[in-house]
Amino acid sequence: MIGPWAGPQHVQPRQNGNNNGNGQKNGPDTSAFNIVNGRVFTPGLGIILAPQPFTPMGGDFLHVALDVSGDGKLPVPPRPIDDPLTQVYNFTMFLTSNVMQKNFTISNITTATPPFANIMSQEMGSTVKHINFEWPDCLVGDGKDVQGTARGEYNITIHQSYRLNGDNRYTIFNLPISVTNSISQFPGAGQLSTNPVPGPLSGTGGRMSCASISNPMIDFQTLVNSVNNPPGQPMQDIAIETTPRSDGGQSAWCICPMKVRSGSSSIPRQYHRMAPQERFSVTDAVQLKLQLQALDHALTSRVHVSQLAAACQSRPFHETVYIDGSEEFYLLVKALSRPDLIPSVYIDAYSAVLHRRPYLNAYKVSDFSKGVDPTFSDIRVLLPAIDALCETELAASFSRLEDRGKHASHYPLFMR
């Protein structure tokens, strides 16, 4: 974050992952960042879902995923977003490096074509915006020799202009990354299926020259003087207020963080004290999405019901992989107390119906540190949306099984 919340400013030195003495097994020191379940909170209304701080980057393009809805509390276009209390005006992004003295435009609202288009107007209706920035030519390299290139340590610099509880704010946030992985001279054709399509590209479809998207460097003190930070972290230190409305936006005052009733049976009392790695994160959502896709494949392949659990565990899960749509999937299922149990609960219910038994919504707790297990009824209402995001047919598979049961004899509906 550029500038202080309040009081004297503290500058956090950039860590290189070696001998930093932070107890992170020589990994980068992320203690200066506000990270909750893999989500990086900024001093504004945006929450970064990808990448994580200090990630080594490369490939065809830079991918940034940004929640622009104030953690789901604010409407996004095409719904009306104007609000006299709290609203996003705009986001702009730059790829900056003090070491390299580079300042490249990622998104600056200058065209109607991503990534330069208004971020709020991209992917209409989605609370998570994906910014896919094509690396310029001076960042091309094989991950080894950096001589003659501008590769090295960079920041994804996010400028936010917004209104918070009636006060206009302007913040700048630096997310450090390392441009050190391999970047080929010519972008792969497969990226054209990515949404939004990565850019910018030259007239011949190749990488842009760095000079064509370069901006003058701005000294640190000028940046500090330009910001108007709130007195604390929105959505955590400061409750977000919105006005009542009936035009598709917020329907009432929105105060966050949300309070959980002390008597709630679905969330354990000690949940707020759990270490982040014990909670469901975006990384967990990636793994869960792969599991559900593998389960769907097993069902369509008519794998025996006794093998379903093993089948949906058979795909490798890599924490660093990016699966398109994982952020939306995370936001969909995180309301469940145990999203990680969706595959097993589904399989149990499927097996019950297959054997002509009704599935039971039994409330149980398989791990007291994580809360009450979801029932199949809790999960079933989400299946159509899960299928849309995972490109699966879990809802249809279950409905077909039930229909078979209505017209079958008293014998179990064993899968072949």
* pTM metric for this prediction: 0.61
281 & 222 share domain: no
Residue 402 banded pLDDT, cuts 50, 70, 90: confident
Q: Which domain holds residue 188?
A: 34-226
| Same domain? 307 vs 369 | yes
Tell me how many domains the chain contains.
Answer: 2
| Residue 412: inside a domain | no
In this prediction, residues 330-348 reach a mean pLDDT of: 87
Could you report the per-residue pLDDT of 218-260, keeping only the tens digit for each?
Answer: 888 888 888 999 999 998 899 999 988 655 444 333 333 333 3
Q: In what order do the strands lie in the sheet with 152-164?
A: 55-57, 167-179, 152-164, 87-97, 102-107
Kindly report which listed range (282-286, 313-317, 326-330, 399-403) carries the lowest average pLDDT score.
313-317
Instruction: Work out the mean pLDDT of the chain and round it to a whole number.
Output: 79
The verdict on 192 and 328 lying in the same domain is no
Q: Is the pLDDT of residue 161 over 80?
A: yes
- Same domain for 218 and 297: no
Judgement on whether residues 178 and 49 belong to the same structural domain of the protein: yes
Q: What is the mean pLDDT of residues 62-85?
A: 92
Q: Is residue 266 part of a domain?
A: no
pLDDT score, position 222? 87
Residues 345-385 have pLDDT tens digits of: 999 888 888 888 877 776 677 776 677 788 888 899 899 98
Residue 243 domain-assigned?
no
The verdict on residue 338 lying in a domain is: yes
Q: Considering 161, 193, 226, which residue would you say is the last residue of a domain?
A: 226
* Band (319; pLDDT cuts 50, 70, 90): very low
Q: Mean pLDDT: which of 46-60, 192-206, 235-249 is highest?
A: 46-60
Residue 22 lies in a domain: no
For residue 272, tell me if it sits in a domain.
no
pLDDT at 89 over 90: yes
Q: In this predicted structure, what is the pLDDT of residue 87?
A: 94
